[in-house]
Amino acid sequence: MEIGNVNVRMSVVTLTVSVFFTILVLATFFITADRTILIWGIPTIVLLFVIPVALNYMSQSQYADLIPVYEQEAKDVRIKTINESMLGKPVRIRGVVERSMFRFLNRPQYLVADKSGEISVKMFTSPQEDVRKGDVVEVLGLVIRRYVAAGEPVVNCVSIRKIKPQEK
C-alpha cells in the first residue's frame, strides 16, 4: 500500500496474527452470540492492522528523509576497506546480494559482496524495492558494530536499491 510517496508494508507475521485474532473473535461471537465480543473485538482487530501500518509508515518516511543526506555525505568504499575506524561514518557500497534473511519480519538483513569481500547489511524497516539473492545493489548506510558494544563492523542500511550490473 502506498501512502503519499511512502510504500508501506505489513509483515507476514503481523498479518498472520491479525487474521488469527479476527477468526478467533468471529468464532467466539458465533458460538456465544455475545455482542460485547464484537464491541471490543472489532476495534481491537482494527488496531492490530492500523498500528503496524502506522509504525511502518513512520519508519519509512524517516528513512526517506535520510536518503538525500546519506547520498550527499556517503563515500564510495569497497567492502574490504570497511573497518572499526569507520564506525559512525556513512558509506556507499555496491555489490551482489548473496543471502537475504528476515524479510518476512520487515527487518531484512543481507549479505552483500563485491570483489573485495562481503559484509552484513542490516535494515530496520522494509526496503522500498523487493531485493532478493543475486540482485546487484547499491547500499547507503552507516557503519556500526554488529552488536551494540561489540562485534565486527556491519552496515546499518538506510537505502538499498537494485542497479544494473554496468552501474557498478
Average pLDDT, stretch 146-162?
A: 86
Domain boundary, last residue among 28, 46, 72: 72
pLDDT in tens, 18-76: 999 999 999 999 999 999 999 999 999 999 999 988 888 888 888 888 888 988 888 89
Would the pLDDT of 157 be above 70? yes
Looking at the fold, whether 91 and 118 belong to one and the same domain comes out as yes
Show the domain range for 45: 2-72
The Cβ of residue 88 has, within 10 Å, a number of other Cβ atoms equal to: 8
pLDDT digits (tens, 9 = 90+) for 76-87: 999 999 988 888
Residue 156 sits at φ, ψ, to 5 deg, of: -85, 105
**Is residue 125 over pLDDT 80?**
yes
pLDDT of residue 130: 84
Q: Is 42 in the same domain as 79? A: no
* Boundary (domain end) residue, out of 72, 103, 134: 72
Asked which of 72, 100, 125 is the last residue of a domain, the reply is 72
Residue 25 C-beta-side C-alpha neighbours within 13 Å: 19
- Same domain? For 89 and 66 the reply is no
Same domain (yes/no): 41, 82: no
User: What are 26's three cell numbers?
Assistant: 468471529
- My answer on whether 97 and 125 are in the same domain is yes
Q: What is the pTM of this model?
A: 0.74
Q: What is the Cα–Cα distance from 2 to 122, expressed in whole angstroms?
A: 23
